[in-house]
Chain A
């Protein structure tokens, strides 16, 4: 079966998906990588500054990709699910860090 062509129908919902769950996802990826590389989040450190640039870049990528979804709901579900997953891992990792540190 041939797929119907992509259109900009529902662009507002798609854009909002890039903006809101897209932001949560990019910040989540940043925090996840921060946990992995042991960043302290101090803005003067190299790791924190690179992570900040990374978050901006991921967000820009999300905003460009969100318009390629067939529906706005699809974009929300995909970014939302990924963001939830990343933040769940972050919560677990900070829990482990706290347990390891105490």
Chain B
């Protein structure tokens, strides 16, 4: 494959400039995204366990529901039945603590159980917000802006990412075929970064294509659907207002239940029907919602390890809670049409919600590798500029090169250290670190590290030492606070230790290069 010389040069320039502008945002997105692969596990790990009497059996759940409805009438509006309670989700029935909850992540809930005398016992469950804050950092690329604005800004950065991806592939593909695994760690700095960048980029190319296109969709889907609604909708008002899946469920149900004289099926009956209608699909939660004047609606979230899932952790279906008829199979794993199945696979490829734990670990590695790809890209850009500057006879670095070099170090270390501080903070003070405090802690650490790195020639080295210490402290805190047989605990401790050692080796390298330049 041969690209015209002028087009290759043009795309090479575009790749460099777009990459350098978008690279640092993408570093944050990939680093936080890699950690978000284990958001539910982290949330459980960081949330203090609640004690409740053992959950009632599924057959006795109607009794629990009746007693809860009598004692807490507000729960009728929206409540969830947990199909298989476990130590991490100990209650059979939960309902939201407050009505307002938007976006991803768990919300604070009231959990209910029956004691030995058959009386209702409730307790509040407030999940740690730290895992969710890391997810938001991923979605917003660390931009401290209101969510809607941040998502649009993120969209434009991702468009740049897509351009950098296409241009990078076009420019480097012909050369890659010759020298893909030739990583020359000895010799010039520029060549080392170039080889590492090419190898990482080539090996994770399909992953990056999926991430770029899905992220453009995540950023702009509301705008695009608004245009569709405006120009394609023949029934005005059809697509406005309410959550989409609720609209789909409502449109099916309203025609069937003008009067809700029928008996609502018991959860055990629903699970039996699901087993018959959708074998292989394991229901996790039965989510009921009851709006004034509308029939009761039931959305079922569950999983099927053999199929891709629409959400990060679940697939969904809707059932008529009076007749047990499945109303909507478009997002039901294993029972989707080919078209919806293909669309679901795009989402699953972004979320890594297929193949279970091995894929999640693979995505963690790919996410970290992606972050490192952007870091190597920036380092390469700096090395090339330094070489050009030396060739033109400039002895010291120009202000621009120096600024970008320090910015790259500060931004990457700031993101890593901020997240480490969040995890450590959540372990040390689980009850005081709410959502806004967690945001404040992350951004405080991030901007402090950035300022330190930008401040002076010794700033980079100080930032490296600080990052090493914080990661080391995180490892100690995890080992000290944990020590249980929790896999998450040991995984976080191991990753924190590896990062500590890696950062420590970087500080040594920085020391050596500093003394070499001093001589």
- Contact surface of A with B, Cβ cutoff 8 Å: 5-8, 11, 19, 27, 30-31, 34-35, 39-44, 46, 48-53, 55-57, 59-60, 63-64, 67-68, 90, 94, 97, 101
Contacts and interface: CB of A to CB of B under 8 A. Distances in A.
B247 A56 contact: no
Contacts of A59: 159, 216
Interface residues of B, dominant DSSP: helix
A42 B7 contact: no
Interface residues of B, number: 42
Nearest to B218: A56
A27 B228 CA distance: 8
Contact of B159 (A5, A63, A97, A101): A63
A20 to B, nearest CB: 12
Contacts of A35: 232
A50 B340 CA distance: 9
A34 to B, nearest CB: 4
B5 interface: yes
B339 interface: yes
Contacts, number: 111
Contact of A39 (B167, B232, B346): B232
B239 interface: yes
Interface stretch (B63-71, B219-227, B358-366): B219-227
A40 B248 contact: no
B115 to A, nearest CB: 43
Given A5-B6, A67-B14, A56 B217 contact: yes
A60 B163 CA distance: 7
Nearest to A53: B217
B10 A8 contact: yes
A36 to B, nearest CB: 11
Contacts of A39: 228, 232
Given A41-B225, A46-B340, 6 more contacts: A30-B227, A46-B330, A48-B225, A53-B343, A55-B227, A64-B166
B167 A64 contact: yes
Nearest to B338: A46
Interface in B316-342: 330, 337, 339-340
